[in-house]
Amino acid sequence: MPHLFEPLTIKSVTLRNRIGVSPMCQYSSDDGVATDWHLVHLGSRATGGAGLVIAEATAVSAEGRITPGDAGIWADKHVEPIARINRFVKAQGAVPGIQLAHAGRKASAARPWEGGAHLADNAGGWPIMGPSALAFGAPLTKVPRTMSAADIARVQAEFVAATKRSLAAGCEWLELHSAHGYLGHEFLSPLSNQRTDAYGGSFDNRVRFLLETTRAVREVWPEQLPLTVRLSCTDWVEGGWDLDQSVELSRRLKAEGVDLIDCSSGGGVPSAKIPIGPGYQVPFAERIRREAGVATAAVGMITDPKQADEIIRSGQADVVLLAREFLRDPNWPLHAARALGQIKNVTPPVQYGRAF
Ligand code: 531
């Protein structure tokens, strides 16, 4: 089995190690446009040795943003600022990725540091939509409009347009966000999807939106570049979306040309009781990898080099994605290499060589 500092090749893309920066919302864009903040935030994790740097949830439409500060890729003006960041990330030896997202019923909220509650339409917010007219719950109290068949087709076309722009921006790894209670996940879960048409009810119907979107995206995203999907593998609620369904969905996503499943959980309903602890979502990556026969990423409270190395060595996942630990330490991969006796397997920037 490989270890944390062994390269990974998927299609034409090779990660220099198994460490990725998980997409992390910065809520610091200007009408969706990436700023110098993003260049520094993503760039410093590339100089810190990450193999993969995935830009935050990037909205495929203005109405699909979680907050007014979200990154976006719904217009041509978004492309060059992302391309600038990608050029830097790539020059540092990391692979630049992007996560495409639509927030569904969780859109139109204040930034977390401004309270995170839904914003009224006359106070910086906008009308929202979802599979069914069911509010998420406090503090996200707005009731979404039930999406029509035309709404569904339009959002799918927006994902396709966003994919083309991601390619034009030099992204080499594309993730579709279908987790954390955003639109894709809202269709999957019977807790948020109570439709009676072809997009709701049975398992086959609830997965239809994501599978169709994936198929349309795969047609325009080059065959040789990795396409991945982030799932909330369970809602952590009886009667909700669960791991068995995630395994079957992963099999079908693989058949659509998805190269890796990014295994997260939760976020669909506020009542979930989540047993958070070190590596608490790793078993999802392990089971999907084994039973669906698809590569996986493990994410969630991965902080320790030995823990991360063991996840890879034991074959539980192909990649580890770190989020908050990367905020604490942008140079986590370089420090982890030292801790694991793997310093020969990293190349710090020449400018920083004397420190490592
Ligand atoms: C944290 C979160 C993790 C797991 C379940 C729900 C929420 N995140 C998720 C982010 C936005 C900010 C908070 C996204 O997935 C876009």
pLDDT, mean over the chain: 98
Q: Kindly give the distance from the C-alpha atom of residue 208 to the centroid of ligand 1, in angstroms, as a whole number.
A: 23
Q: Coil, strand, or helix at residue 175?
A: strand
Asked whether residue 108 carries a pLDDT value surpassing 90, the answer given is yes
pLDDT band at 356 (very low <50, low <70, confident <90, very high): confident
Say whether 182 is catalytic. yes
**pLDDT per residue as tens digits for the range 305-344:** 999 999 999 999 999 999 999 999 999 999 999 999 999 9
For the chain, give me the number of helices (H) and strands (E)? 11, 13
In this prediction, residue 214 carries a pLDDT of 99
- What percent of the chain is predicted at pLDDT more than 70? 100
One-letter amino acid of 229? V
Q: Kindly give the distance from the C-alpha atom of residue 147 to the centroid of ligand 1, in angstroms, as a whole number.
A: 23
Mean predicted confidence (pLDDT) in 60-85: 98
CATH class for the domain made up of 8-355: alpha beta
pLDDT band at 106 (very low <50, low <70, confident <90, very high): very high
Asked whether residue 128 carries a pLDDT value surpassing 90, the answer given is yes
Question: Which of the residues 182, 199, 280, 352 is marked catalytic?
Answer: 182
More reliable by pLDDT, 356 or 212: 212
Q: Kindly give the distance from the C-alpha atom of residue 266 to the centroid of ligand 1, in angstroms, as a whole number.
A: 9
Q: Kindly give the distance from the C-alpha atom of residue 265 to the centroid of ligand 1, in angstroms, as a whole number.
A: 9
Mean predicted confidence (pLDDT) in 214-234: 99
- Ligand 1: which atom is nearest the Cα of residue 103? 16
Q: How far is Cα 258 from Cα 248, in angstroms, rounded to an integer?
A: 13
Of 299, 304, 307, nearest to 335 (Cα)? Answer: 304
Asked whether residue 179 carries a pLDDT value surpassing 90, the answer given is yes
CB 253 within 8 A of CB 261: yes
Ligand 1-lining residues (CB < 6 angstroms): 25, 57, 180, 264, 266-267
Q: Please choose from 24, 180, 263, 281 the residue to mutate so as to test ligand 1's pocket, defined by most ligand atoms within 8 A of CB.
A: 180
Q: Would you state the structure tokens that stand for residue 295, as one six-digit string?
A: 């590569």
Nearest CA to ligand 1 atom 9: 180
Contacts of 264 (CB under 8 A, 6+ apart): 179, 180, 230, 231, 232, 233, 281, 284, 299, 300
Q: How far is Cα 25 from Cα 111, in angstroms, rounded to an integer?
A: 10
3 state SS for 58-106: EECCHHHCCCCCCEECCCHHHHHHHHHHHHHHHHCCCEEEEEEECCHHH
In this prediction, residue 123 carries a pLDDT of 96
In this prediction, residue 239 carries a pLDDT of 96
- Ligand 1: which atom is nearest the Cα of residue 264? 4
pLDDT band at 293 (very low <50, low <70, confident <90, very high): very high
- Ligand 1: which atom is nearest the Cα of residue 266? 5
pLDDT band at 1 (very low <50, low <70, confident <90, very high): confident
**pLDDT per residue as tens digits for the range 242-260:** 999 999 999 999 999 999 9
Distances in whole angstroms, Cα of residue 25 to Cα of each of 34, 68, 159 = 12, 12, 19
Distances in whole angstroms, Cα of residue 142 to Cα of each of 129, 136, 189 = 10, 8, 19
Nearest CA to ligand 1 atom 11: 25
Q: Would you state the structure tokens that stand for residue 181, as one six-digit string?
A: 């209670």
